[in-house]
Amino acid sequence: MNHENDKAAPTIIVIFGGTGDLTKRKLLPAFYNLYLDGYLPEKFAIIGLGRTPLDNGAYQEKLKEGLGEFSRRGKPNEEQWEHFKSFITYLPSDVNDAASYQKLKEHLDHIDDQWGTRANRLFYLSVAPQLIAAVATNIGKVGLAADAAMDRIIVEKPFGHDKESAIELNRLLTRTFKEEQIYRIDHYLGKETVQNILVFRFGNALFEPIWNRNYIDSVQITVAETVGVEDRGDYYEGSGALRDMIQNHLLQILCMVAMEPPVSFDAEEIRNRKVDVLRAVRRLKPEEVHMYAVRGQYAGGWLQGKKVPGYREEKGVNPQSNTETYAALKLYIDNWRWQGVPFYLRTGKRMQEKTSSITIQFRPVPHSTFPQSKVGSLIPNRLTINIQPQMDISIRFIAKRPGLEMNLQPGEMVFDYDKCSTQTPEAYETLLLDTMQGDATLFMRADQVEEAWDVITPILETWATRDSLDFPNYAAGTWGPETAEALIAGQGHVWTVSPHLFENK
């Protein structure tokens, strides 16, 4: 997390799934940007693995195309690319072929010999979840990751399908790796604006005294996407919004908003405080689920002037599918700080606008000093943390409207990331550098993952018992099903649809 003046030790990155979408779209652009920003060590190598028959040149060319398309800096400069590509090699291999791990070991040992030092080894599992067991077991068998201080494994989401499978996966990984060698990625934790939640809360004395049930009325966390399932219908059918987004990204954000102040910025300390929050989230009884959780699935509709198909018409999706593409929850945290404060979480695909934000709604003033006739309905203070694509933190307050009369109006103070001079790094840049430097603060520990599954288990189980649903129940290009409004209306709340203050009074 803190990358000041740091260069990692000599490092070899082995990417299982080196020909896949994630490598092209996220991993390679992140490494390339780290290279341009001077964060990669001089002794550095990327080894891509996959079954596709390619030679080094063809593999490098494929990754270069991806850079042009997906890097925040666009097409690479030829001279810089010529140097960077010398780090990259490709080893065609099948993860189920035990012999290929011996070859990989020889390759890694050979690099160590050339460099005259034992390099750190990072094994990135960018493969489907069902292949993780084969890779981790085979790495263990040939002793590829024998040095607990130097070798790490990075595991992509989804981490399990439910609590039992997550526990099983943790058990399997810890047969070969110690917990401190395992980096479970949640890319939301690498986002600049998400990291800033901790700095905002614990770097300022101003907010902590009012960051509790005495002053905060409710909290909303929204992650709204305009995209549909794209070409991931097969995966999404077995997942749905609750597993795909809430179990990981939204619950992790919730932890950062709700955690107690850590004693230090140490990885274990931060993760301890976060897991405390998950443990305190009230578990729902099956008969309560309908009062606390709402699901939806998009029908066809119009988005930004374009006609888009319904979920059931997407590639890889069952035409009678009951998979939810929208989920909204009302959660309570049963501890001293948050007793009685509702936390509303929602996420959906094909929503009207792409926006991820956190809204902290403060309570109204205890007594209205100013005559109602002058001020209309006073708007209580609200803090909004816009995560993406708009990146800012704003505080809404009441101010006097200039003039001879005592009229009030809403005002706003904004910290805007666009006004900062440096380019914002992508989440994967932060996270990959952290893995190289052995900083696990922004990664999920086994107990965090298991607790997060535990929070959503009653909902998953209750939802699984019903197979005749009123789906689809929201049109693409809207803000989700109407039942989501009712979910929070009982407490007198409405979803804060847009992050922009004055559209949203």
Ligand X SMILES: NC(=O)C1=CN([C@@H]2O[C@H](COP(=O)(O)OP(=O)(O)OC[C@H]3O[C@@H](n4cnc5c(N)ncnc54)[C@H](OP(=O)(O)O)[C@@H]3O)[C@@H](O)[C@H]2O)C=CC1
Ligand Y SMILES: O=C1O[C@H](COP(=O)(O)O)[C@@H](O)[C@H](O)[C@H]1O
- Residues making up the annotated binding site for NADP(+) are 17-24, 51, 94-95, 157
Binding flags for ligand Y, 142-181, as an x/- string (CB under 6 A): ---------------x------------------------
> Interface residues for ligand X in 130-159 (CB under 6 A)?
131, 156-158
Residue 52 as a binder of ligand X (CB under 6 A): the answer is: yes
Min dist CB 192 to ligand Y, Å, is: 12
What gap in Å lies between CA 372 and CA 223, rounded to an integer? 36
Question: Does 10 help bind ligand X (rule: CB under 6 A)?
Answer: no
Among candidates 149, 92, 101, 158, which has minimal Cα distance to 126?
A: 158
- Taking the C-alpha atoms of residue 475 and residue 301, their distance in angstroms, rounded to an integer, is 5
50 binds ligand X (CB under 6 A): yes
- Please identify, among the stretches 67-75, 94-102, 364-372, 470-478, the one whose residues bind ligand X according to the rule CB under 6 A: 94-102
Nearer to ligand Y by C-beta: 316 or 364? 316
Structure tokens at 51: 């079954």
Per rule CB under 6 A, is residue 30 in the interface with ligand X?
A: no
> Closest CB to ligand Y belongs to which residue?
244
> Which residue of the set 83, 161, 249, 290 is catalytic?
249
DSSP 256-315: HHHPPPPSSS-HHHHHHHHHHHHHHBPPPPGGGHHHHEEEE-EESEEETTEEE--GGGST
Return the closest-CA partner of residue 14 out of 127, 113, 144, 124. 124
Q: Is 95 in the site for ligand X (CB under 6 A)?
A: yes
DSSP element (H, E) containing 461: helix 446-464
- Kindly tell me which of 225 and 313 has the beta carbon lying closer to ligand Y: 225
Is 249 one of the annotated active-site residues of the chain? yes
Order of strands across the sheet that contains 182-184:
88-92, 44-50, 11-16, 120-125, 151-155, 182-184
Residue 504, token pair as written in the block: 């949203």
Query: Judged by CB under 6 A, which of 151, 217, 244, 426 binds ligand Y?
Result: 244
Judged by beta carbon, residue 64 or residue 157, the one nearer ligand Y is: 157
Min dist CB 316 to ligand Y, Å, is: 13
- Which of 6, 41, 51, 75 binds ligand X (CB under 6 A)? It is 51
Residue nearer to ligand Y on the CB measure, 225 or 288 = 225
Site for ligand Y in 195-224 (CB under 6 A): none
Alpha-carbon distance of 253 to 104, in angstroms, equals 38
Q: Residue 320 contacts by C-beta under 8 Å, 6 or more apart in sequence?
A: 312
Give the DSSP letter string of 166-178.
Answer: HHHHHHHHHHHS-
Nearer to ligand Y, 225 or 353 (CB): 225
21 binds, among ligand Y, ligand X, none (CB under 5 to 8 A by kind): ligand X
Contact by Cβ (8 Å): 41, 10: yes
126 binds ligand X (CB under 6 A): yes
Q: How far is the CB of 431 from ligand X (least distance, A)?
A: 12
Stretch of 20-28, 29-37, 244-252, 313-321 lying at the interface with ligand X (CB under 6 A): 20-28
Phi first, then psi: give them for residue 360, nearest 5 degrees.
Answer: -105, 110
Interface residue with ligand X, options 129, 348, 472, 499 (CB under 6 A): 129
Amino acid, res. 388: Q
Whichever of 10 and 472 has its CB closer to ligand Y, that residue is: 472
Exactly one of 7, 21, 210, 408 binds ligand X (CB under 6 A); which one?
21
**451 forms part of the interface with ligand Y (CB under 6 A):** no
Rule CB under 6 A: is residue 71 a binding residue for ligand X? Answer: no
Min separation Cβ 104 and ligand Y, Å: 28
Binding residues for substrate: 187, 191, 225, 244, 349, 354
Exposure class string for 24-52: b at 16+ Cβ within 10 A, else e: bebbbbbbbbbbeeebbeebbbbbbbbee
The continuous run of DSSP H or E covering 408 comes out as strand 408-416
Which of 6, 69, 94, 266 lies at the binding interface for ligand X (CB under 6 A)?
A: 94
Q: Take residue 336 and report the two structure tokens written for it.
A: 């001293």
For residue 229, with 0-12 CB atoms within 10 Å meaning exposed, 13-18 middle and 19 or more buried, which class applies? buried
Contact criterion met (CB below 8 Å) for 145 and 177: yes
Question: Which partner in ligand X, ligand Y, none is near 96 (CB below 5 to 8 A by kind)?
Answer: ligand X
| 96 touching ligand X, by CB under 6 A | yes
Least separation in angstroms between residue 157's CB and ligand Y is 6
Among 21, 37, 168, 225, interactor with ligand Y by CB under 6 A: 225
Rg value, the chain, Cα: 24
Out of 17, 76, 160, 477, the only residue in the binding site for ligand X (CB under 6 A) is: 17
With respect to ligand X, which residue has the nearer C-beta, 223 or 341? 223
The distance of Cα 400 from the centroid of its chain, to the nearest Å, equals 40
**What residues numbered 318-347 form the site for ligand Y, per CB under 6 A?**
none
In angstroms, give the least distance from the CB of 253 to ligand Y: 11
Nearer to ligand Y, 43 or 249 (CB): 249
| Cα distances (angstroms) measured from residue 189 to each of 59, 193, 240, 387, 460 | 30, 9, 21, 11, 24
Look at strands 326-331 and 343-348 and give their pairing. Answer: antiparallel
Residue with tokens 């443990």: 279
Report the interface residues with ligand X, using CB under 6 A.
Answer: 17-22, 25, 50-52, 94-96, 126-129, 131, 156-158
Which are the catalytic amino acids?
249
Report the interface residues with ligand Y, using CB under 6 A.
Answer: 157, 225, 244
